[in-house]
Amino acid sequence: MINTHGHWDHAGGDAAVVAASGARVLIHEAGAPLLLDHGRHLDGYYTAGARALEQPDLVAAQRAAFPAVFGPPTAPDRLLREGDAIDLGDGVGFRVLHLPGHADDHAALYWEREGVLIAGDAAQGTGSRRGGCPLYFDGIAQARASIARLRELPFRTLHVSHPFGRLGTDERSTVYDAAGGRAFLADSLAVLDALEEALRAALRAHPEAPFPPSPAPRRRTWSARGAGRWSSTRRAAPAGAAPTLHRLWREIDGA
């Protein structure tokens, strides 16, 4: 079982799968702490939006819900590094590409013989939720470099982990052919350009405004009871946009 990264929606449940199947767990070396320590999630990406928006009640609810969301810690059996080869037998073999940005530990997998590229969450188009935002928790510049690396590969099939949104179309997919995959990657970079342009304009217009500029997201509430789903009483910038915008703001600000 190869985790592209240690986020809850990718590595959560590892322990159950190992218990049921005896599978070995592989993850990039930077992801091992996420498999072993819930605190690395709770003090990191998992509460990043709520912390950026200064919502302590939401942070507390997320912390309380997390153990059930992720499951018990798991010790990885093999730690991956850039350039590693993973031989799955029967001629199936992947090369590991370390592609940070969405997450420090994010790895993509490339099966060169067949041109199959598993990009995980490294490139996100317009994000996984309608009206939302792509999530790059650990570096916008890194995300751009990672997407550029994906574009250099002569893949024939591109797999992504979520049906991310596209520019100029409602089409969403998790599997693309070569042309579609290249368009998706171009969209992912264009979205970052647009976000940066919009944020720079907002900062020029309101240079004194602290982040976040609007209290609207405070109207959104997190329901641990409803399987950890967002409910909203009004349309507002989703709290899910906060991590990327906060990170971008810090990079623009040189912080």
**Residues making contact with Zn ion (CB under 5 A):** 7, 121
What span, in angstroms and rounded, lies between the C-alpha atoms of 243 and 254?
16
Give 105 or 187: the residue with its C-beta nearer to Zn ion.
Answer: 105
Give 7 or 246: the residue with its C-beta nearer to Zn ion.
Answer: 7
Give 7 or 166: the residue with its C-beta nearer to Zn ion.
Answer: 7
Give 136 or 225: the residue with its C-beta nearer to Zn ion.
Answer: 136
Query: CB-based contacts of 35: which residues, under 8 Å, 6+ apart?
Result: 3, 6, 11, 14, 25, 27, 73, 74, 75, 76
Query: CB-based contacts of 9: which residues, under 8 Å, 6+ apart?
Result: none
* Shortest distance, position 11 Cβ to Zn ion, whole Å: 9
What span, in angstroms and rounded, lies between the C-alpha atoms of 155 and 82?
18
- Give the phi and the psi of residue 177 in degrees, each rounded to 5: -80, -175
* Shortest distance, position 4 Cβ to Zn ion, whole Å: 8
What span, in angstroms and rounded, lies between the C-alpha atoms of 151 and 161?
17
Give 41 or 179: the residue with its C-beta nearer to Zn ion.
Answer: 41
Bridge pairing between strands 116-120 and 157-160: parallel
Query: CB-based contacts of 66: which residues, under 8 Å, 6+ apart?
Result: 8, 38, 41, 42, 46
* Shortest distance, position 237 Cβ to Zn ion, whole Å: 20
* Shortest distance, position 248 Cβ to Zn ion, whole Å: 17
* Shortest distance, position 201 Cβ to Zn ion, whole Å: 28
Give 5 or 144: the residue with its C-beta nearer to Zn ion.
Answer: 5
* Shortest distance, position 6 Cβ to Zn ion, whole Å: 8
Look at the chain and count its residues.
255
Give 136 or 155: the residue with its C-beta nearer to Zn ion.
Answer: 136
Neighbours of 249 (CB within 10 A): 21
* Shortest distance, position 102 Cβ to Zn ion, whole Å: 6
Closest residue by beta carbon to Zn ion = 7
Cβ–Cβ under 8 Å, residues 58 and 219: no
